Chains A and B, each alone.
Chain A
Amino acid sequence: MKDSGAVRPHEAMTSGARARFAGAVLTNEFGLVLLILLFGMLFALGTRGFASPFNLFTLGRIMAINIMIGYSMMVVIVTGGLDLSVGAIGVCAAMFFGWLSQRLGLPLVVTIPGALAMGAALGAVNGQLIVRSGLHSFIITLATMSVFFGFMEFVTRAQAFRGLPPAILAVGRMRYFGYVSPLLLVSAGVGLGLSALYRLTPLGREMLAAGANPAAAELSGVRVKRVIVQCHMLAGALAGIAALMAIARTGAAIPSMAGDLGQDWLLPAFLGPVLGGALLSGGRVSVLGAFLGSALVSELTNGLLQFRVGEFWVQTYLGLLLMAAVLIDLARRKLVARLGVAP
C-alpha cells in the first residue's frame, strides 16, 4: 500500500537520484554510446578483423578526422547556419601547409599555425560575406566552396605537395598501446576545449545565444554579427586541423583529398553533429554528441567494409543503419517524454 502522506526526506533523495539517473541514461549521448557498443559487438562477432589491433588503430585514425570535420560544421550550426565550404577550406589549408613546408622549407612550428590561420582566414571571408550580405550561409558557402577550391586549383595547378616533413607522417603512423591513434586524442582534446568554450566562457555563451534567438541576443548586448564571423573563423581553423590530420594519414597534401570541391567532407560534417543532437536552427549543440555521432558513422562504415557487403553497397547499408539508429533514438526520446524525465 502506497504512502499517500508527505514525502519523507530520504525518499525524496531516492526519487531525485532516480530521476537524475533516468535523465542520464536517456540522454542522446547515452543512446549513441549504446549504439556504438551494440554495433561494435555485432561487427566484432561477425567479422574476423574488426577487433584486431590494426583495424582498431585505423578505425580510430579515420574516426579522428571525421570527428574534427563534424566539429567544424557544428560550430557553425550553433548559429543556425551551415558551412558547405568546410571541405574546400580544409583542402586550401592543407595545400597552404604543403606550400609553406615544401616550397619555403619552414618548420612545423610555423607551418601548422600557418595552415590553421589560412583556414580561419577563409572562414572569416565566409562570415563577413554572410553578415554583410544578409544572405543565408547556405548560399554564401555554396558559392565560396567553388571559389576557394577553384582558386586553390589555379594556384597549385592541381599538383600535390609530396615532399612534406617525415614528422607529420610519423604522427599519423604512431600508436599508443598498439591500437590507439594519437589523432583520436587530438580530437578528444579539441572536443574538451570546445565544451569548455560553450560551458565556461562568455564568448561560448554568446555563440549559443546568437544562435537561439539573434534578436534577443542583440538586445542583450551580444554583437551577433561579430559572433557569426567568429564562429566561421573557428570552423575554418577546425577544418584546417582536420586537413592536417588527413595529411598525417597520407604524408602528402593532395588537391583531391576531400573530393571535387571538397564535397566528400559534407556527409561526415553533417552526420556527426546532427546525430549528436545539434539543433539545425541553432542555439543548442552537444560536443560529446558530435564526437559520438561521428564515431558511430565511422564505425558503421568500417564494419560494413569488414562484413564485405560489397564496396558499392556500403553507402546503401550505411544509410539503412543510420536510419535504424535514428529510429532507435526516436524510440528513446519517446520513452523520455513518456516518463517525463528531463534528459
Chain B
Amino acid sequence: MLRMTHALIAAAALALALVPAAHAADATRVALVPGGPHPYFAAWEKAGQDAKKDFNLGAADYRVPQKWQLSEQNSLLESLLSQGYNAFLVFPGDPVGSNATVQELTENGAPVIATAGCLKEPTTALFCFGTDTGHSAYLGTKELIKAMGGKGRIAHFTGFLVDPNTQLRIDAVEQAAKETNGAVKVVQVIADIDAPGPAEEKINAYLAAHANDVDGIITTAWVPAVVASNALRRIGDKRIKMVAIDHDPVVLKAIKDGFVNGTMLQNPYGQGYIGSYALDRIRHGCKVKKDAPFKTIALTNRFIDSGTVYADKSAVDNYVGAMQAITKTIFAGFEKTYLDCP
C-alpha cells in the first residue's frame, strides 16, 4: 500500500512538472502544421522561430503529424487547440476533409490560414497563402520545352494524389504541352510518389524501361525531383532535359553539374514567417480586406501567391538570396495590401 502511495505521488509530481507554463492570454501562439513529415516544410521551423522573435509572439511552433494522414493531422490540430495554441498555419491534408476541423478551430477563436495548399470554398480559413502551384508547374514546363528545343516527349513525376496541389500541377503541365500544338506530348504521368520508397521504385523502373522514349522530365514534387536527379546522373548522357522543383541539395548539385536544367523554387520560409505575422495582426484587431487583390485558383478565390522563381545553373548558387528577396518583397506590402488594421 505504501509503495502504491509513493508511486501515485511520483506520478502526480511528474504530471505537475510537465504542466506547460502559463501564457499571457493575449499572446499569439501559432502552430505551423504541415500535412505530414516532408522536407518541404522543414523551413517552417526556422520561419516560426524567426517570427516569434521578430514579432514577439507567445509561440510559433512547428508541429508535425506522425504520418501523412488526414486523421492524424486532425487529431493533432484538435489537441493543439486544447493545449492553448490560438492561431494556425495549416497545410490541409485534404481540401475538403480538413474544412470541418478548420471550422472547429475558427469557431473556438483561433484564426487559420491555409498555407502551402488551399482549402476548397466555402471555408472559414482567412485565405490561402502558398505557391500558385499550377502556375509554377506551367512555367517550369515552359522552361523544359525551351530546353528541349520546342519538341519531344515529356514524363511528369508528381506528388500525393491526396495533396490538393497535385491535380493542379498535372493539369498545368498538360496545358503547357498543349500550347505547342502537338510538338510536345506528355507521355507519362506518375503520381503518388512523394516518398522515397515509391519514388525510387517507380521512377527507376520507368526510366529503365522507357528512358529512350522521353526527351524531358518535369518533376513537381520534392522527392520525385531528388530521385529523378539521381537517376539522370546515373544515366549520365545528359540527353534527357529536366526541370525540377524546390531546393534539395541533390537537385542543386545536379543543376550545377549539368544533369538537370533548372528548378522551380518555392518559398516555404516566407509562408511560415509572413503567415505567422499575419495571424498575429489578425488576432490584434486587423481584418482581411474585402477588396484585397486575391487571385482566384481552382479551389479558392482568396489566394495569395507566396512566390516562385526559376533557378538555372547561373542562379542556383544564390537560391537562398532569391527566396529571401521574394519574402522581403511580399512582407513589405502585406499589411497594406491585404489587411485593414485599426
**A interface with B by C-beta (< 8 Å):** 42-43, 45-50, 52, 54-55, 58, 62, 158-160, 162, 169, 172-173, 246, 249-252, 254-257, 259, 264, 301-302, 305-308, 311-312, 314-315
Judging by beta carbons under 8 Å apart, are B69 and A259 in contact? yes
- Option from B76, B99, B103 in Cβ contact (under 8 Å) with A305: B76
Judging by beta carbons under 8 Å apart, are B81 and A307 in contact? no
CB closest chain-A residue, reference B191: A158
Q: For the complex, what is the distance from the CA of A42 to the CA of B12, rounded to whole Å?
A: 7
- Minimum C-beta distance from B98 to chain A (A): 8
Given known contacts A311-B66, A312-B64, A250 and B94 CB-to-CB distance under 8 angstroms = yes
* 15 additional A-B residue pairs with CB within 8 Å, beyond A54-B78, A160-B96, A173-B100: A43-B15, A48-B82, A52-B82, A54-B104, A169-B100, A172-B100, A246-B71, A250-B94, A250-B97, A254-B162, A255-B162, A256-B69, A305-B79, A312-B66, A315-B66
**B interface with A by C-beta (< 8 Å):** 11-12, 14-16, 18-20, 37, 63-67, 69-71, 74-76, 78-79, 81-84, 94-101, 103-104, 108, 120, 161-162, 192
Judging by beta carbons under 8 Å apart, are A306 and B97 in contact? no
CB closest chain-B residue, reference A43: B15
Residues of B within 8 A of A160 (CB): 94, 96-97, 162
Judging by beta carbons under 8 Å apart, are B74 and A250 in contact? yes
Judging by beta carbons under 8 Å apart, are B75 and A47 in contact? no
Judging by beta carbons under 8 Å apart, are B192 and A54 in contact? no
Q: For the complex, what is the distance from the CA of A49 to the CA of B20, rounded to whole Å?
A: 10
Residues of A within 8 A of B19 (CB): 45-48
Q: For the complex, what is the distance from the CA of A305 to the CA of B82, rounded to whole Å?
A: 10
- Minimum C-beta distance from A149 to chain B (A): 13
Q: For the complex, what is the distance from the CA of A257 to the CA of B12, rounded to whole Å?
A: 37
Judging by beta carbons under 8 Å apart, are B18 and A264 in contact? no
- Option from B70, B84, B104 in Cβ contact (under 8 Å) with A49: B84
CB closest chain-A residue, reference B68: A256
Q: For the complex, what is the distance from the CA of A330 to the CA of B67, rounded to whole Å?
A: 32
CB closest chain-A residue, reference B23: A48
- Minimum C-beta distance from A8 to chain B (A): 32
Given known contacts A54-B108, A251-B99, A302 and B94 CB-to-CB distance under 8 angstroms = no
- Minimum C-beta distance from A239 to chain B (A): 15
Given known contacts A169-B100, A301-B75, A47 and B66 CB-to-CB distance under 8 angstroms = no
- Minimum C-beta distance from A70 to chain B (A): 16
CB closest chain-B residue, reference A246: B71
- Minimum C-beta distance from B109 to chain A (A): 11
